[in-house]
């Protein structure tokens, strides 16, 4: 069971290499023909600032700790529920930080999975985007070719993919429980007036306009959470972590919070709706920048809902998603078989062909 995610530097010394990989990834931050020049330039300039941010949250990202904990706990549950496919072995593959995809893949081969061993690539981005899950799958496909070849001896690793799960009931319940816990910290008389601000990582508009499904899937998660909460509070969806001068999906989280505080809505709960654990975007950007600035403007009631982290409800959801996938016989979702309307990436096409043809149980990729 391979957990795929962006990852994060565990130390401040690892920030530079992390940013170099991140800005080199055209799937995440498209810089056009100047990617190879601008990517290293931007990463070098941003490194000191980002190192200070990681120092402010304890010296490194906790995402590896939580990913390894979540995957290990999930596998314990799977061993009980799915004895026919046990034991289930947890792996973590990060796109930009250790353990990198190639490290994970080599471990798989060293552990004997290269001769028709079953492996599930389980994205920890519940809502699919070509810039996140798509990028991780592109990287996985690349290292499969490099380490196993196009027709590996013995058949190679047999892959299937959990590529999205934005409205899984367990995921929705875990989010709702954390929101209710934070709502309980406000005086009873203001509960119904607390504004719920769901915050997700933004995307460049060039990616959105290409037809990426991420905005719609994030909105589906938000609507499912509010349905579970019986639409008890006013709410909005906003977007964070814009990088660079190009147009990104908005409204931006920081601008949204300040606008509401200045309009007199001083009781707000920020909900990181596209993240499955804490990292720099929650611990620094939301906690130490957005909330701090809001309090300076009088937003004394601006708080953040706890991230999913070690939530037993969330880990149970991970197990349920995995169990259903293992027993379904499917290699991926139906959605993965169709490309974005404006996609011209041959790498994306070949990656989809590879994963969908692992077992011929779904239709050919739609060009």
Phi, psi dihedrals of residue 12, rounded to the nearest 5°: -70, -30
Active site residue 265: no
> What whole-number distance in Å separates Cα of residue 191 and Cα of residue 180?
10
pLDDT at 365: 37
Q: Report helix, strand or coil for 271.
A: strand
Burial of 56 (0-12, 13-18, 19+ CB in 10 A): middle
Between the alpha carbon of residue 100 and those of residues 58, 107, 256, the distances in Å are: 22, 11, 35
- The predicted-structure confidence for 147-205, as pLDDT tens digits, reads as follows 998 888 777 899 999 999 999 999 999 999 999 999 999 999 999 999 999 999 999 99
Between the alpha carbon of residue 345 and those of residues 63, 128, 130, 132, 315, the distances in Å are: 30, 17, 11, 15, 35
> What whole-number distance in Å separates Cα of residue 19 and Cα of residue 5?
15
pLDDT at 34: 81
> What whole-number distance in Å separates Cα of residue 364 and Cα of residue 367?
9
> Is 220:180 a contact under the CB 8 Å cutoff?
no
Q: Report helix, strand or coil for 185.
A: coil
Minimal CA–CA distance to 120: which of 90, 74, 69, 161?
A: 161
Catalytic one of 163, 212, 278, 320: 320
Quote the distance between the C-alpha of residue 298 and its chain's center: 32
Neighbours of 63 (CB within 10 A): 24
Catalytic one of 168, 201, 279, 325: 168
> What whole-number distance in Å separates Cα of residue 47 and Cα of residue 14?
10
- Chunked in runs of 10, what are the mean pLDDT values of the chain (367 residues)? 97 95 85 82 93 96 98 98 95 97 96 90 97 95 92 85 98 98 97 97 94 97 98 98 86 97 96 96 97 95 98 98 94 90 89 75 37
Rg of the chain over CA atoms, in angstroms?
21
Active site residue 111: no
For every residue of 130-175, DSSP letters joined together read TTTHHHHHHHHHHHHHHHH-SS-GGGEEEEEEE---TT-HHHHHHH
Minimal CA–CA distance to 47: which of 77, 17, 92, 86?
A: 17
């Amino acid at each position: 069971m391979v957990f795929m995610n962006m990852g994060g530097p565990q130390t401040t010394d690892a920030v530079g290499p992390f940013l170099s990989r991140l800005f080199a990834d055209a799937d995440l931050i498209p810089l056009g023909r100047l990617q190879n020049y601008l990517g290293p330039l931007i990463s070098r300039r941003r490194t000191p600032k980002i190192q200070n941010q990681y120092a402010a949250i304890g010296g490194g990202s906790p995402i590896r700790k939580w990913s390894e904990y979540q995957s290990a706990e999930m596998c314990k549950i799977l061993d009980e529920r799915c004895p026919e496919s046990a034991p289930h072995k947890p792996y973590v593959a990060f796109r930009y930080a250790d353990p990198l995809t190639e490290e994970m893949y080599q471990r798989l081969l060293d552990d004997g999975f290269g001769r028709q061993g079953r492996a599930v690539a389980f994205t920890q981005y519940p809502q699919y985007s070509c810039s996140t899950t798509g990028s991780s799958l592109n990287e996985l496909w690349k290292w499969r070719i490099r380490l196993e070849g196009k027709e590996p001896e013995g058949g190679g690793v047999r892959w299937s993919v959990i590529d999205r799960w934005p409205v899984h009931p367990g995921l929705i319940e875990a989010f709702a429980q954390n929101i209710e816990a934070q709502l309980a910290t406000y005086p009873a008389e203001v509960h119904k007036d607390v504004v719920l601000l769901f915050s997700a990582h933004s995307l460049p508009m060039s990616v959105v306009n290409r037809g990426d499904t991420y905005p719609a899937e994030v909105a589906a998660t938000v609507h499912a959470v509010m349905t579970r909460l019986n639409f008890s509070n006013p709410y909005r969806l906003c977007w964070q972590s814009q990088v660079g001068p190009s147009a990104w999906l908005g409204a931006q989280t920081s601008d949204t919070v300040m606008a509401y505080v200045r309009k007199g809505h001083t009781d707000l709960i920020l909900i990181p709706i596209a993240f499955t654990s804490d990292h720099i975007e929650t611990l620094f950007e939301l906690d130490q920048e957005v909330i701090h600035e809001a309090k300076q403007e009088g937003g004394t009631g601006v708080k953040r809902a706890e991230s999913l982290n070690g939530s037993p409800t969330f880990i149970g959801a991970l197990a349920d998603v995995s169990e259903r996938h293992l027993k379904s016989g499917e290699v991926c979702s139906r959605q993965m078989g169709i490309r974005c309307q404006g996609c011209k990436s041959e790498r994306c096409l070949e990656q989809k062909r590879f994963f969908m043809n692992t077992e011929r149980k779904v239709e050919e990729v739609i060009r």
